[in-house]
A and B are shown apart, each in its own frame.
Chain A
Amino acid sequence: MTSAAAVLDLPGHAPALPLITVRDLRVAYGEHVVLDGVDLDLRPGETVALLGSSGSGKSTLMRSLTGFAPVTRGTVRVAGHDVTHLPRGGLRALRSDVGQVFQQFHLIPRLSVLTNVLTGALHEAGAVNLVGGFSRAHRVRAMALLDRVGIAHKAKEPARSLSGGQQQRVAIARALMQQPRVILADEPVASLDPRLAGSVLRLLRQIATEDGIPVLVSLHVLPLALEHADRVVGLRHGRVLVDAPAAQADPAALAALYAGEDEHDDHDL
Chain B
Amino acid sequence: MSQTGVLEGADAPTDEEHHHGPDKGILRWVYTTNHKDIGTMYLLLALGSLLIGGVMAFVIRAELFQPGLQLVDPNFFNQMTTMHGLIMVFGAIMPAFVGLANWLIPMMIGAPDMALPRINNWSFWLLPFAFSMLLSTLFMEGGAPNFGWTFYAPLSTTYAPPSVTFFIFAVHIMGISSVMGAVNVIVTIFNMRAPGMTFMKMPLFVWTWLITAFLLIAVMPVLAGVVTMMLMDIHFGASFFNAAGGGDPVLFQHVFWFFGHPEVYIMILPAFGIISHIISTFSRKPLFGYTSMVFATSSIAILSFIVWAHHMFTVGMPLAGELFFMYSTMLIAVPTGVKVFNWVTTMFRGSMTFETPMLFAIAFVVLFTIGGLSGLMLAIAPADFQYHDTYFVVAHFHYVLVPGALFSILAAVYYWLPKWCGRMYNESLGKWHFWLSFIGVNLTFFPMHFVGLAGMPRRIPDYALQFADFNAVVSVGAFLFGASQLIFIYNVWRTTIGKKGIKATDLVWEKPEGLEWTALPSPVPYHTFQTPPKVD
Decide if A and B are genuine partners. no
Residues of A in contact with B (beta carbons under 8 Å apart): none
Residues of B in contact with A (beta carbons under 8 Å apart): none
